[in-house]
Amino acid sequence: MNWLSLIGIVIVILGFALKWNSILVILLAASVTGLVSGISPVALLETIGTTFVANRNMAIFIIVMLVTGTLERNGLREAAAGLIGKFKGATSGVVIGIYGVMRAIFAAFNVGFGGVAGFVRPVIMPMAEGAIKARGHEPNEDHMEELKGMASGMENITWFFGQVLFVGGSGALLVQGTLEGLGIHVELIDLALVEIPVCVIATILAILYYYIKDRQMLKKYYKDELGKDGLQ
C-alpha cells in the first residue's frame, strides 16, 4: 500500500482551506500524486489531456453565455422585478417566500437575476422594507438585519437545490464525469430527476422557516406600536 499517494488529497484539502490559488492547488496535487505513485510525467500529461478533452461537456456554460449577457441587456432583471412586484400587500416574510419560489423555478432553467448585488439589494430588500412601512411601522434595525440574512439564505438555498434541476448544469456534469472515470455511466436527465424532491423539500422548508421567523419578529418588534397606533 502506497501511503504517499494520499499526499495529493492532503494538498487539495489544505490548499482549498487556506484559500490558495485553486488552479495551482489542483495541478500541484495532480503532479505530486503522479510523482509519488510512479506515474511518468508523460503519462500524467496524457491522463490530464484525455480527461480534459473527455469532459469538454462541462464547458457547455460557454455556449449559454451567448444569451446570458444579452438577456440582461434586454431587461430580464426588470421583468423579474416586475413579476415579484405584482404581489402587493405581502408581509416581509411573504416577499422572501415568493422570491424563493421564483428563484427555484428559474434556477431550474439556469437563470439568475444578478445575485445579492444585482437583485436582493436593489429589489427584494426595498420590497421587504416597504412591506413593513406599508403597515405603518418604522422598520426595526434587528428585524431588518434578520431579513437581510433570510433573503440571502433564500437566495442561496433555492439556487443550490434549484440549479441541479437544470439538465446540463455543471454540478451534474461533474458527477457524470467523475462516475464515468470509475467506469459507471449515468444520464443527465436521471440525475436531474433525483433532485426534484430535494429541491421541493428544501424550498418549502426555507419558506416555512423564514415565514414563521418573520411572524415572530413582527410580533416582537412592532407589538407596542400596534397598541399605540390602534392599528388592527
Partner 1 sequence: MSFFTNPEVAFSAKVMEIIYIFMGAMCIYTAFKNFKDKENPSQIGTFIFWFLLGIILALGQWLPPLVSGILVVLMCLPAIFKKVSKGQVAVPTMEETQANFEKIGMKIFIPTLCIGLFAILCAITGLGVGLSALNGVAIGVVLAMMILMLQNKNNTFKVFMNDSERMLSVVGPLSMLPMLLACLGAVFTQAGVGDVIAQVVGTIIPEGNVTIGIIVYAIGMMLFTMIMGNAFAAITVMTVGIGYPFVLAYGANPTVIGMLALTCGYCGTLCTPMAANFNTVPVALLNMKKQFGVIKNQVLIAGIMIVVQIIMMIAMQ
174 binds partner 1 (CB under 8 A): yes
200 binds partner 1 (CB under 8 A): no
Applying CB under 8 A, among 97, 98, 119, 155 the residue interacting with partner 1 is: 155
Instruction: Report 177-196 residues binding partner 1 (CB under 8 A).
Output: 177-179, 181-182, 184, 186-191, 194-195
Instruction: Report 8-27 residues binding partner 1 (CB under 8 A).
Output: 8-9, 12-13, 16-17, 19, 21-24, 26-27
Applying CB under 8 A, among 40, 133, 138, 201 the residue interacting with partner 1 is: 201
46-75 footprint of partner 1 as x/- string (CB under 8 A):
xxxxxxxx-xxxxxxxxxxxxxxxxxxxxx
123/95 Cα distance (integer angstroms): 11
126 binds partner 1 (CB under 8 A): no
* Minimum CB distance to partner 1 smaller for 26 or for 226: 26
40 binds partner 1 (CB under 8 A): no
Applying CB under 8 A, among 84, 128, 131, 150 the residue interacting with partner 1 is: 150
Applying CB under 8 A, among 87, 91, 152, 215 the residue interacting with partner 1 is: 152
